[in-house]
Amino acid sequence: MIEKLSFHPNLADKPHAAYIGFQLCLEGPFSALCSDNVWKQRRKDFSNYLKKSRVENDYYKTFIKCSDRMVNIMLESSSGVDSNALCAAVAHDVALKSMFSIETSLVYHPEIVALLTRIKEVASILTLNSPIISPLFRILQPLADIMFGKLVELRKLILGEIDNQLKSNQQPLQEELPLSINMILRIRRDNESEKRMFKQLHEVFLTSGHTVGTKLANVISLLGVLPDIQERAWQEQDEIFGNDIRDPTIADLNQMKFLDRFLKECYRFLGPPFLAKMATADINVDGITIPRGTLVIYLLRFIKLHPKYWRNPNIFDPDRFLDEDDYLKCSYTPFGIGVRSCPGEYFATMFMKITLSKILRRLKLRPVEKDFRFEDIKFKSFLLLEVENSPMLEVEERI
C-alpha cells in the first residue's frame, strides 16, 4: 500500500502520530489510511470528475466567471489587495460550483473568508498535537454555532442543497450528477456511516478549495514582487490576445508557454513541504533495509532547493524549465508522484492559468510596500509550503 501525505516538516520525529491525528478529521482518498480496494473506489469518485475532458467542458465557464469576479474585486480595492483572503474565497467559490453545483455569495462574507484563511494554521496545529483532537472536538462541538457563525450557515446551506439535489435525482450513479451527490449515493449504497459521508464531503471541500486557493494566492504574491517576470508574462498575453478582451480558450491556454514555466517555478518554491509513502515490502536502499509498513518521509522542500538537482536553486528562473531533463521526474513533484498522486493537477493548473491570464491582461501588480522584493519572501510550512509574509498588493488597471 502506498499513500501520499503532506505534513509540517517538524513532524519528522513523529509522523505516524500526526498521520493518525489528521485521519480523525478527514476520510477520503488523500488523507485516510485505507486498503487498496477502498482507496480505488474513493479515488474513482475524484478521477471521474477531474479528468481533462470534464474540466474543459464542465468547469471552464465556472473558472471564467470566478476569475472575472476576482479581477473586479481587485480593481475595486483602494487600500491594497490581500491575496490570501481573496483567493480563499474565490477558490472555495469554484469548489462549490464545480464539485457541489451550488451557487452562493456566502463564501465572500468576511467572517467566512477569515476562517478559510486560518484553516491551514488550525490543521497544522492538529497534526502536531494529534492526542488533543478528539477531546477538543467534543468540547468545541456544542459551541460551533456560536464560534463559527457564518461558516455554520455555509455548511447548512451546502447540506440543504445536497439534500434538495438528492430528492430530485432518485436515480443510479450518473456522471452528470455533481461529485457530492455521486459520493453520497455510493456511500449509502455501500451502507457506510453518515459520519464517514460527512468526512469525505469535508475533504472534497477542502482539497478542491483550500489547496487551490493557497497556491493561487502565493503565485499572485510572487508575480507582484517579480516585476520583470510579470512583464514577460504580460507580453506573452499581448502576443496571444492583442487588444481583444475575449475569454481565453483552451487553445489560447496551450500557447502560454512562459506562463507554464512561471507556474512550474512557483511550484518549485511552494507545494507540499514533504510527502510520505508506505513500504509494501522490505526495501533495500544503499545497504539499508526499510521494513514493510514503514512510513518513509520525502523532504520535498529540500530536494526542490538542492544544488545537486537545480542550478542556482535559490534564484527564481522560469526558463530553467526550458530544459526537460530526466532528473526533474523525482526532484520536482508539486502534485505528488505515482499512482496516488493528486488527480486535481489539471483542474488547479487550468483555473490558475485562466485567472492569471485575466489578471495580467487587465492589471499591474506591485507591493504596497515599495521596497519589498522576492528576496524578502519568507516561506513557512503548513499543510503546504507557502509564503508566510505575503505583501499587500497595489493594483493598477492597464490602459
Distance, in Å, from the CA atom of 224 to the CA atom of 216, rounded to the nearest integer, reads 12
* Closest C-alpha among 342, 51, 95 to residue 206: 95
3-state secondary structure of 297: strand
- CA atoms in the 13 A half-sphere facing the CB of 246: 10
CA angle 181, 185, 186 (to 5 degrees): 115
Do 116 and 213 meet the contact criterion of CB atoms below 8 Å apart? Answer: yes
3-state secondary structure of 35: coil
Helix boundaries (H) for the chain: 15-23, 36-50, 52-54, 60-76, 83-99, 110-128, 133-140, 144-148, 150-167, 179-189, 194-225, 227-241, 250-255, 257-269, 300-303, 328-331, 345-362
Do 58 and 44 meet the contact criterion of CB atoms below 8 Å apart? Answer: no
Question: What is the H or E stretch that residue 12 is in?
Answer: none
DSSP character string of 126-156:
HHHTGGGHHHHHHHHGGGHHHHHTHHHHHHH
Those residues whose C-beta lies under 8 Å from the C-beta of residue 362, and which sit 6 or more positions away, are: 71, 75, 397, 398
Distance, in Å, from the CA atom of 346 to the CA atom of 238, rounded to the nearest integer, reads 24
Residue 87 assigned ligand-binding role: no
3-state secondary structure of 333: coil
Angle (deg, nearest 10), helices 257-269 and 227-241: 150
**Among all chains, which residue has been given the C-alpha cell 489587495?**
81
Phi-psi region of 67 (alpha: psi -120 to 50; beta: other; left: phi over 0): alpha
Distance, in Å, from the CA atom of 137 to the CA atom of 98, rounded to the nearest integer, reads 29
- Write out the binding residues for heme: 342
- Write out the binding residues: 342
